[in-house]
């Protein structure tokens, strides 16, 4: 593949940008990627935590905005 990135040389904002670009690329080919069975277990546990009021979630765009504001 040949891509080398020295992560220690990137700022936090640059690292987040790289992660977002990787995620977008993975999403384009999502049907080719199979999740392991334990992913379903973790999702079920998290959904249960939200249902019983032990956890909450926020919109992904709002989460990214909060992260960017904290940098």
Position 4 confidence tier, pLDDT thresholds 50, 70, 90: confident
Which of 17 and 4 is assigned the larger pLDDT? 17
How many angstroms separate the CA atoms of 63 and 20, rounded?
Answer: 13
What is the band of 33 on the pLDDT scale with cuts at 50, 70, 90?
A: confident
Angle, vertex CA 18, rays to CA 8 and CA 27, nearest 5: 145
In the predicted model, what is the mean pLDDT of residues 25-46?
A: 90
Helix extents (H) in the chain = 12-28, 37-51, 60-70
What pLDDT score was predicted for residue 41? 96
- CA of 36: how far to CAs of 29, 32, 42, 43, 54, in Å? 16, 13, 11, 12, 25
* Structure-model confidence comparison of residues 2 and 34, the more confident one: 34
């Amino acid at each position: 593949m040949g891509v080398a990135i020295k992560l220690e040389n990137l700022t936090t904002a640059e690292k987040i940008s790289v992660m977002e670009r990787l995620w977008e690329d993975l999403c384009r080919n999502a049907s080719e990627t199979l999740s392991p069975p334990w992913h379903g277990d973790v999702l079920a546990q998290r959904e249960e935590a939200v249902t019983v009021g032990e956890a909450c979630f926020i919109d992904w765009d709002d989460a990214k905005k909060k992260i960017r504001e904290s940098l």
